[in-house]
Amino acid sequence: MMHSSVERVERLNGDTSIIRFTWNEAVKPGQFIMVWIPEVGEIPISVSHVGNPKGITIKAYGPTSRALVDIREGDRIFFRGPYGRPFFLVPGRRLIIGAGTGMASLLPVIDSKTFGIIAARSKKDLLFADAFDEQRRLLVTDDGSAGIKGIAVDALTHVDLNQFDMVYVCGPEMMMKSIYDFLRPRGTSAQFSLERLMKCGIGLCDSCSIGGLQLCRDGPTFDIKELDTMEEFGRSRVLESGKRISMGK
């Protein structure tokens, strides 16, 4: 377990913060760390800023993430990693498709030629839209408060997929499944960063398994063709108890 002093905290909205800290370790886009709050818990978080100071972007979902969102400058942050298979960065033009905090995993992928589809429930929930010029992005919100009213996949009819060399996707699994269903018949090259329940981060607990693969060791990034073999993708998930249920429940 490593630790560092929190250098800066940026509150993005009421329940989302960026935590910046120095850590002299090479981290690649798409990798994650396991962050521990003493007497609260430990959770996996993507590294949204891979240079120094490093940064993680966290939204309050439960006790551990809430404690992280409320952390202050000068506090200690405890973590281990980095873990996981990173994105494979290809030269040329990239399209990223991110929903909610899924944008945190995608932020290090963005360069001057990247086009972004950024989706969220409402305008206040959009993350990292300012990483793009207005001409290089499409905003999508459930309530129509910014950009296109709808979900991320609705924006794909507004772009020419043939102009991109690789598509990178991260967000809720049902959102990614809709993107997969749109891209796969078109033969589009794409990589997806999956999110599932993860307890250990090193392949011991098997809580993050999907289709016989473990997200912590074999992923969390997968090529679109690898998703073809994952019958559980977008269909079922595992609870903390180990019970498998249908997605959406």
pLDDT score of 241 more than 70: no
Residue ending a domain, choose from 35, 60, 83: 83
Range of the domain at 163: 94-246
Looking at residues 78-92, what average pLDDT do you find? Answer: 96
- Here the CATH number for the domain that contains residue 77 is 2.40.30.10
Distance between CA atoms of 140 and 96, rounded to whole angstroms? 13
How confident is the model over 162-200, as pLDDT tens digits? 999 999 999 999 999 999 999 999 999 999 999 888 889
What pLDDT is attached to residue 150? Answer: 97
Strands (E) in 143-197, as ranges, are: 148-149, 166-170, 190-193
- 89 domain-assigned: no
Looking at residues 109-116, what average pLDDT do you find? Answer: 96
Burial of 202 (0-12, 13-18, 19+ CB in 10 A): middle
Distance between CA atoms of 108 and 220, rounded to whole angstroms? 15
This model's pTM is above 0.85: yes
Q: Give the total number of structural domains in the chain.
A: 2
- 88 domain-assigned: no
* Residues 223 and 159 both lie in one domain: yes
pLDDT score of 249 more than 60: no
pLDDT band of 207, cuts 50, 70, 90: confident
DSSP string, 171-228: S-HHHHHHHHHHHGGGT--EEEE-----SSSSSSS-TTEETTEEHHHH-BEEEHHHHT
- 10 domain-assigned: yes
Distance between CA atoms of 102 and 186, rounded to whole angstroms? 23
Residue ending a domain, choose from 49, 83, 117: 83
pLDDT band of 14, cuts 50, 70, 90: confident
* Residues 32 and 55 both lie in one domain: yes
Largest CA distance in the chain: 50
* Residues 173 and 126 both lie in one domain: yes
Radius of gyration of the chain (CA): 17
The CA-based angle 181-185-186, given to 5 degrees, is 110
Distance between CA atoms of 59 and 18, rounded to whole angstroms? 9
Q: Which two tokens stand for residue 142?
A: 């459930």
* Residues 150 and 240 both lie in one domain: yes
Q: Which two tokens stand for residue 227?
A: 């998703």
Residue ending a domain, choose from 50, 83, 116: 83
How confident is the model over 30-75, as pLDDT tens digits? 999 999 999 999 999 999 999 999 999 999 989 999 999 999 999 9
- 103 domain-assigned: yes
